[in-house]
Each structure stands twice: as structure tokens, then as C-alpha cells.
């Protein structure tokens, strides 16, 4: 490995833009053992990927992801594509000796995730590293939350409450984009945003979900095909070519994923938890909130106030007790020393920069980054247990990794 980490990224839409910003920024604010070089970006549309390369700062572009893997000037493959392509690209990249960064959820099925985790473990023996992109772990307030839990500041955790609320498909005429088709996305709100709160709560508590009882619902059963409503094209809506649908097909298509998922859970160590993930919370754009109640206090994180953490310290005298607000902008707080003076806020994009910071640091010093593919497999097993529980209406155990 040279002092550069030459990156090839597959996919250039929403996540591709966020990752590009991170690769472009990370070495300008953090001192790292390797310098990220934005070598090549890949996408299906020749015009689209050329424009993305120019806009985001990639040296070159291609429409063939296999060319990225075969490129001797690429050290790491960053996968920002829909879930139905994660396994094929990641397995090929690992076999070729490339480090891999893969967006969440890791795969569309447990079988795919198990194969990817096994391949990643085998690649570790050759010094090849891999990581799954659960970016909310890298919000400084979330990292501080974990630090306070590890220090015993809230004692034994008894309750976990987590919600992730969005409303972008409330309109029944919103088109049938790829995220609403199971064969491409794997699942709906459960895998897309539910995976985030599953990983986040397990990360901050250090506890794993062991069993669940769940319900899911699809409120709008069919939607206009992209191009059949409001003049949208398949490319502008993000419909995957692998879906088999186009604007020349039927006027409407079936929604084959969940719109909302709710479940109760038991964590190891005795804590109980509630989870809610929905795209039908009218008025909520990206409402992620986690609350932990322990024997000595409580912690609350709300992404709409992402630079803050609420802390209730039950060890204080009764007259002094109450939730206090920690403004997470001090240089002693996780990641913050690289940014601005205290009180100056950071945003969503910084979570991806921190993600790449940790990945580059791990590769540079020869250690395995987290969350690993095995960690992401564990989240996939929780998603699978939730799906099975919703189908059976019974408590369901989470399989072992």
C-alpha cells in the first residue's frame, strides 16, 4: 500500500454524493496515515456518471463496476448501490484483494449477508479490510452517548426506545421507485431506516437484540410506475434497471415492501426495547430519536438536534435533578477537535466524513474497522427475525451470527 488510498466508488446518487463529500474532505481536517484519492466513479448512465465525476471531483468514470475492481490503481471499492447488487460487487472486490466499504443494509437476504461476512473474514487474513456504512454511529453526540454508557453514568440499562420517522411516500401517487420493490431493496422502512436504529441502539448500549415480536404494514399497495406520473423518468426516480419495470409498462405496479415496521425486543442483559420505523409519519422528514433509561440516569439523542445530547443524572440531589443539555461541540467530544471552535455546529455530511476517517485510520494501521461485515450480518439477522415475527405474529428469536 502506498501512502495513498485510491478509491473506486460504485453508485453516484444520494449516498454517492454523501460519500464523495466525505472522501473529498476527510484528509483536509484529519491527520491520517493514508491520503484518500478519488480515482474512479461508476454508474449505469454514461452522461450521469460523467456529470457526477465532474461535480464531485472524481478523476475518471466508467459504466462497468467490474472495471473498477480490475483497475490496479484502485485500492478500495466503495459500494453505494441498491441492495440487490451489494453481494456481487463486494464478493468480487474482496476476491480481488480490494478493501470494501459497503452501504447498509449489508445485503437483501441473510444468505447473502452470511456469504459476504465469511468472505470478509477470509480476506482479513490477507490484510484486506471491510466495513459497513452505518453513518449515525459517527455523529459526535451518539459517540458521546456510547462513551457515557461505557463509563457507567446511567447504570444498568433497563429501557431502550428508538424511532425513525419519515413521510416521503405519504402521497399515494408518489412513483414506484426502487426502494419500494423487494427484489431490489430487500425490504422497505424496516431495512432502509429500521436497520439504522437497530445498529445505533446496539452500538450505544453494547447489548444485542435477542428476540422480537413485530408487525409490519403496507398502506399503499400500488403506485404509478416512474414516468407514468408527474412526468418522472425511470432515471430521475432512481428505479433500478434490475426491477424489470419501465415507463412503457403497466400504469401502476405493486408495492412489495413494508411502509412501516414496529416491534418489541429483548436485549441481552435484561433490557427491553421498542422500535418504530415508518415512511408514513406525516410531517416528519428524518426524525431519528433514541432514549436510554438506566438505573442511574437517562440519555436522549434526537437527530433533529444532532449537536445535542440530553442527560439525566439520578445521582444528583433531588433538588438539582432534571434533564440537562450537553452541546456536543467541545474538542474533548468525539471527532470535534478536527472542526470548529466550541459552539459552532456540524451537520449530516460530517457523519460520513467521520466514517471515512475511521476506515482510513484502520486500514492505515492494519486493524479491522467497525462495524464489520459480521456486525452488519447481525443487524441483518435482526431484520430477518422481525420479518418472520410479523408473518407469524409470534415472539421470534434472532439467529446467531
Same domain, 86 and 22: yes
Same domain, 193 and 223: yes
- Report the C-alpha gap between 186 and 178 in whole angstroms: 10
Same domain, 69 and 29: yes
The answer to whether residue 399 sits within a structural domain is: no
User: What cell was used for 119?
Assistant: 468472505
- Report the C-alpha gap between 166 and 278 in whole angstroms: 6
Same domain, 34 and 146: no
Contact 363, 5 (CB under 8 A): yes
The answer to whether residue 101 sits within a structural domain is: yes
User: What cell was used for 338?
Assistant: 478536527
Q: Which residues pair with 275 in a beta bridge?
A: 162, 263
CATH number of the domain encompassing residue 349: 3.30.360.10
CATH number of the domain encompassing residue 61: 3.40.50.720
Query: What angle is formed at CA 7 by the lines to CA 237 and CA 97, rounded to 5 degrees?
Result: 110
Structural domain of 313 = 137-367+381-392
Same domain, 195 and 211: yes
DSSP secondary structure, 260-308, as one string? EEEEEEEETTS-EEEEEEES--TT-SSEEEEEEEESSEEEEEEGGGTTE
Same domain, 81 and 154: no
Same domain, 128 and 143: no
Residue after which a domain boundary falls, among 87, 121, 136: 136
Name the nearest CA neighbour of 218 among 75, 390, 34: 390
Same domain, 233 and 105: no
- Report the C-alpha gap between 231 and 199 in whole angstroms: 37
Same domain, 385 and 345: yes
Nearest-10 Cα torsion for 205, 206, 209, 214:
30
- Report the C-alpha gap between 170 and 219 in whole angstroms: 9
Tell me the pLDDT of the chain (401 aa) as tens digits: 459 999 999 999 999 999 999 999 999 999 999 999 999 999 999 999 999 999 999 999 999 999 999 999 999 999 999 999 999 999 999 999 999 999 999 999 999 999 999 999 999 999 999 999 999 999 999 999 999 999 999 999 999 999 999 999 999 999 999 999 999 999 999 999 999 999 999 999 999 999 999 999 999 999 999 976 443 333 333 333 333 343 344 599 999 999 999 999 999 999 999 999 999 999 999 999 999 999 999 999 999 999 999 999 999 999 999 999 999 999 999 999 999 999 999 999 999 999 999 999 999 999 999 999 999 999 999 999 999 999 999 999 999 99
- Report the C-alpha gap between 72 and 40 in whole angstroms: 12
The answer to whether residue 342 sits within a structural domain is: yes
Contact 32, 64 (CB under 8 A): no
- Report the C-alpha gap between 192 and 210 in whole angstroms: 21
User: What cell was used for 395?
Assistant: 415472539
The answer to whether residue 376 sits within a structural domain is: no
The answer to whether residue 373 sits within a structural domain is: no
- Report helix, strand and coil shares of the chain as percent, to nearest 5: 40, 25, 40
Give pLDDT, residue 227.
78
The answer to whether residue 96 sits within a structural domain is: yes
Each residue's pLDDT tens digit, 132-142: 999 999 999 99
- Report the C-alpha gap between 166 and 194 in whole angstroms: 11
Tell me if residue 394 falls in helix, strand or coil: coil
Same domain, 270 and 353: yes
Same domain, 200 and 154: yes
| CA dist list (Å): 181 to 197, 198, 260 | 22, 22, 14
Q: Which residues of 259-280 are buried (b: 16+ CB within 10 A; e: fewer)?
A: bbbbbebbbeeebebebbbbbb
Residue after which a domain boundary falls, among 76, 102, 136: 136
Contact 201, 137 (CB under 8 A): no
Residue after which a domain boundary falls, among 115, 136, 157: 136
The answer to whether residue 372 sits within a structural domain is: no
Q: Which residues pair with 66 in a beta bridge?
A: none
Same domain, 201 and 269: yes
The answer to whether residue 401 sits within a structural domain is: no
Number of domains the chain is built from: 2
Count of beta carbons in the 10 Å neighbourhood of residue 72 = 7
Amino acid at each position: 500500500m502506498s501512502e495513498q488510498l485510491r478509491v473506486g466508488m460504485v453508485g453516484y446518487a444520494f449516498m454517492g454524493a454523501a460519500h464523495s463529500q466525505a472522501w473529498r474532505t476527510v484528509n483536509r481536517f484529519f491527520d491520517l496515515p493514508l491520503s484518500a484519492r478519488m480515482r474512479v466513479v461508476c454508474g449505469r448512465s454514461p452522461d450521469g456518471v460523467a456529470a457526477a465525476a465532474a461535480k464531485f471531483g472524481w478523476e475518471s468514470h466508467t459504466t462497468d463496476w467490474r472495471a473498477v475492481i480490475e483497475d490496479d490503481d484502485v485500492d478500495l471499492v466503495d459500494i453505494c448501490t441498491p441492495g440487490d447488487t451489494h453481494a456481487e460487487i463486494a464478493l468480487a472486490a474482496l476476491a480481488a484483494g480490494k478493501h470494501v466499504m459497503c452501504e447498509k443494509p449489508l445485503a437483501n437476504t441473510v444468505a447473502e449477508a452470511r456469504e459476504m461476512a465469511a468472505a470478509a473474514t477470509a480476506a482479513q487474513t490477507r490484510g484486506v479490510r471491510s466495513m459497513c456504512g452505518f453513518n449515525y454511529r459517527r455523529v459526535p453526540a451518539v459517540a458521546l452517548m456510547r462513551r457515557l454508557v461505557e463509563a457507567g453514568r446511567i447504570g444498568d440499562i433497563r429501557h431502550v426506545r428508538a424511532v425513525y420517522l419519515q413521510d416521503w411516500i405519504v402521497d399515494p401517487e408518489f412513483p414506484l421507485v426502487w426502494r419500494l420493490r423487494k427484489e431490489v431493496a430487500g425490504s422497505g422502512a424496516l431495512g432502509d431506516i429500521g436497520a439504522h436504529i437497530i445498529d445505533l441502539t446496539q452500538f450505544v448500549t453494547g447489548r444485542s437484540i435477542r428476540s422480537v415480536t413485530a408487525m409490519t404494514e403496507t398502506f399503499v399497495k400500488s403506485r404509478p410506475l416512474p414516468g407514468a406520473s408527474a412526468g418522472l423518468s425511470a432515471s430521475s426516480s432512481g428505479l433500478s434497471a434490475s426491477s424489470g419495470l419501465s415507463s412503457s409498462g403497466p400504469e401502476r405496479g405493486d408495492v412489495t415492501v413494508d411502509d412501516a415496521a414496529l416491534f418489541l425486543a429483548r436485549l441481552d442483559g435484561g433490557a427491553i426495547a421498542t422500535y418504530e420505523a415508518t415512511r408514513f409519519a406525516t410531517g416528519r422528514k428524518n426524525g431519528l430519536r433514541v432514549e436510554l433509561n438506566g438505573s442511574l440516569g437517562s440519555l436522549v439523542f434526537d437527530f433533529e438536534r444532532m449537536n445535542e445530547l440530553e442527560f439525566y443524572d439520578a445521582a444528583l440531589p433531588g433538588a438539582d435533578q432534571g434533564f440537562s443539555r450537553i452541546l456536543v461541540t467541545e474538542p474533548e467530544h468525539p471527532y470535534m477537535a478536527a472542526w470548529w471552535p466550541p459552539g459552532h455546529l456540524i451537520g449530516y455530511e460530517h457523519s460520513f466524513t467521520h466514517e471515512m476517517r475511521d476506515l482510513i485510520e484502520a486500514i492505515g494501521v492494519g486493524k479491522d474497522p467497525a462495524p464489520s461485515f459480521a456486525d452488519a450480518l447481525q443487524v441483518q439477522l435482526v431484520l430477518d427475525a422481525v420479518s418472520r415475527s410479523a408473518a407469524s405474529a409470534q415472539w421470534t428469536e434472532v439467529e446467531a451470527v
